[in-house]
Structures are given as C-alpha cells and as structure tokens.
Amino acid sequence: GPLRVAVLVGSARQGSLNRSLALAMMRLGDDRLAFDVPALDELPLFNQSVLEAGMPQPVARLQSTIQAADGVLIVTPEHNRSITALLKNALDWLSRPAGANSWTGKPVAIAGASAGRLGTVAAQQHLRAILGYLDMPTMGQPEVYLQLTASLITPEGDITDESTKAFLQGYMHKFHHWVRTHRRVDAPALG
Ligand code: FNR
C-alpha cells in the first residue's frame, strides 16, 4: 500500500500560499503516498501543566496521526525570520512528555513559500536545527524556497508554470524515496 505522510502546514490563514503549495505537492505525490493534513489551529497553546493534567483531545488526535505516519512533510511560511508559532506549537506538544517524543525517527522534508524573494530560507534554517534536535532524519536536497503569487499555484493546488511543476515533481519523487528508505518498520512483538 501507499506510504502514509502527515503534512504539517504552518499557516491557518484563509488563502494561505503555503496551503496551496502543500496541496500542489500532495497532488504530485500520486498513489504511492497517502496524506493526512492535521488542523494545527485546533491545538491549545503548549502548557506543561495542561499536559501533566492529561493530554488534550486535539493533541491526542495529532499524536495518533503522527504515530501512524511513515513520514512527515512540513510546508511553512516564515514569520519574522523563523517558523510560525502555529508550527512550533505542534512540534513542542508532541515532543513531550519527556522520553516520549512522537517525532523521533520520522523521516521529514521541508518546503515553504512567501510573497517575498527569500522564500522562507531563514525559517527553514531554524527548522532544520529543531528537526535535528527532535531526531528526525531530514531530507537535505532539493530545497524549496518559493516566491509565490496566487497565479503560480491556484488555491486548489494547480501549478500554472511547467518548470515549477517539474521541480516539485522531482522533489516529491525524492521525498517518496526518502520516506521509504528511512521509515521505521517496527518489529512484530515476540511471544
Ligand atoms: C510575515 N511575512 C514574512 N515573509 C518573509 O519572507 N519573511 C518574514 O520574516 C516574514 N515575517 C512575517 C511575520 C508575520 C507576523 C506575518 C503575518 C507575515 C510575510 C509572509 O511571507 C506572508 O504573510 C505569507 O503570505 C505567509 O504565508 P501564508 O499564510 O500565505 O501561507
């Protein structure tokens, strides 16, 4: 069957460029990848006391999605030269409780779009450091720093430029290979 991929979109904005990009990338994943797109804006703001009192339902749902995923694809805007609070909040929640980091070992790839020319390069550098700490094998190449306008990728995820489409197709091909190579296949329980 297809490999399961959880897609984390770092913006909950109506008309998000990064959501359009994520949709476009999912459409290029063909039938070898099956995608879940959890709603990160349902999560409360991380608070360790809340976690210690019992994992909130939306966090538990995200945890199940991540546990079931063979890999993770992160598509995020850049906010003030870093990743968005929405994305950081999700990463923080599932890094806990201590000793039960749900992200460990999940192969991951990252991409991002902005209206400006730098195309989220600063945010992605920060994100790579976080993913290293979370112990996630992170795809190094190709990098996706996209300056995006609504006409390049429609809200439905149609890519109107052939060279962009070919580039993202190659990225998704490499990503499939990355997940297949690095995913953890748990040994069946003994006895
Ligand atoms: C931005 N934006 C932005 N862009 C950028 O290239 N580098 C940056 O550091 C920032 N910082 C920033 C901070 C905040 C608080 C906001 C709201 C916006 C602009 C950003 O690229 C633009 O809003 C994108 O459209 C965001 O992506 P979505 O929401 O369309 O996916």
Residue nearest atom 1 of ligand 1, based on CA coordinates: 79
Question: How many A from CA of 114 to the centre of ligand 1?
Answer: 6
pLDDT of residue 185: 84
- The pLDDT value recorded for residue 45 is 98
The answer to whether ipTM exceeds 0.95 is: yes
The alpha-carbon radius of gyration of the chain (Å, integer) is 16
Query: Three-class SS string for the chain?
Result: CCEEEEEEECCCCCCCHHHHHHHHHHHCCHHHEEEECCCHHHCCCCCHHHHHHCCCHHHHHHHHHHHHCCEEEEECCCECCECCHHHHHHHHHHCCCCCCCCCCCCCEEEEEEECCCCCCHHHHHHHHHHHHHCCCCECCCCCCEEECCCCCECCCCCECCHHHHHHHHHHHHHHHHHHHHHCCCCCCCCC
Q: Is 116 in the pocket of ligand 1 (CB under 6 A)?
A: yes
State residue 35's pLDDT score.
98
Closest-lying ligand 1 atom to the alpha carbon of residue 76:
31
Give pLDDT, residue 153.
92
Of all protein residues, the one whose alpha carbon is nearest to atom 28 of ligand 1 is 16
Q: Is the pTM of this model over 0.90?
A: yes
Asked whether 72 lines ligand 1 (CB < 6 A), one says: no
* Residue 191 confidence (pLDDT): 43
Q: Which of 14, 40, 76, 79 to mutate to test the pocket of ligand 1 (most atoms within 8 A of CB)?
A: 79
Q: Which residues of the chain have pLDDT under 50?
A: 191
pLDDT at 187: 52
Q: What is the pLDDT of residues 13-23, one digit of tens each?
A: 999 999 999 99
Rounded Cα gap, residues 65 and 101, in angstroms: 14
Contact between 46 and 112 (Cβ < 8 Å): no
- Of all protein residues, the one whose alpha carbon is nearest to atom 7 of ligand 1 is 78
115 lines ligand 1 (CB under 6 A): yes
Q: Kindly give the distance from the C-alpha atom of residue 77 to the centroid of ligand 1, in angstroms, as a whole number.
A: 6
Whether ligand 1 lies within 6 angstroms of the CB of 150 is answered as no
Quote the ligand 1 centre to 78 CA distance (angstroms).
Answer: 5
User: Would you state the CATH architecture of domain 3-182?
Assistant: 3-Layer(aba) Sandwich (3.40)
